[in-house]
């Protein structure tokens, strides 16, 4: 299997795949695991854990084509010219949430839809929002109730 994206979702999928006995190759444009979150030493440790379970990483790579025949995926082509065989392709490339969609309906905070501690919109008690599009109060003592996304 080829997993496109080496973030949280991509690594979770890769872990599940190798846990089920499949081979998994993670393709990511980044130079290493979680470069924006961790130091190189911590990234190396995380990568090593995954590799010890059989996950293969292809960093600095960009997929250019997912090819197949008779309705089934067969391979993933990379910008480097390499072609990875694949019977399964999982895509976990992320997205940019669009909170502006509801800006006239509910308050925005910290660049997201403001939700209560129960994840519903303050202006619409029967409408819930979850995920990266939300800004919620964090009651942990370190954050002091600050709204964060």
Check if the beta carbon of residue 61 is closer than 8 Å to that of residue 91. no
Examine the pLDDT at 137 and tell me if it is beyond 80.
Answer: no
Mean pLDDT computed over 76-97: 90
Cα angle vertex 125, ends 138, 96, to 5°?
Answer: 55
Cβ–Cβ < 8 Å for 14, 3: yes
| Integer Cα distance of 7 and 49 in angstroms | 15
| Contact yes or no for 64/77 (Cβ under 8 A) | yes
pLDDT in tens, 44-66: 999 999 999 999 999 999 999 99
Q: Which whole-number Å values give the CA distances from 126 to 105, 112, 115, 118, in the listed order? A: 13, 18, 12, 11
Name the band, by pLDDT with cuts 50, 70 and 90, for residue 104.
Answer: confident
> How many angstroms from the chain centroid is the CA of residue 82?
24
Is the separation of the CB atoms in 27 and 84 below 8 Å?
Answer: yes
Provide the token pair at 43.
Answer: 């990234």
Phi-psi category of residue 88: left, alpha or beta, with phi > 0 → left and psi -120 to 50 → alpha: beta
In the prediction, which pLDDT does 11 show? 95
Give this prediction's pTM.
0.68
Region 69-78: mean pLDDT is 93
Question: Average of pLDDT values for 133-148?
Answer: 71
């Amino acid at each position: 299997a080829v997993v496109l994206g080496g973030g949280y979702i991509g690594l979770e999928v890769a872990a599940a795949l190798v846990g089920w006995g499949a081979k998994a190759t993670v393709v990511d444009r980044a130079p290493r695991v979680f470069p924006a979150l961790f130091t190189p030493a911590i990234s190396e440790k995380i990568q090593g854990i995954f590799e010890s379970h059989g996950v293969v990483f292809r960093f600095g790579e960009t997929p250019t084509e997912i090819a197949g025949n008779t309705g089934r995926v067969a391979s993933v082509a990379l910008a480097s010219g390499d072609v990875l065989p694949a019977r399964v392709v999982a895509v976990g490339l992320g997205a940019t949430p669009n909170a502006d969609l509801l800006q006239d309906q509910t308050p925005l905070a910290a660049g997201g839809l403001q939700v209560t501690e129960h994840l519903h919109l303050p202006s619409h008690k029967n409408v819930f929002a979850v995920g990266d599009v939300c800004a919620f109060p964090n009651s942990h003592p370190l954050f002091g109730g600050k709204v964060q996304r």
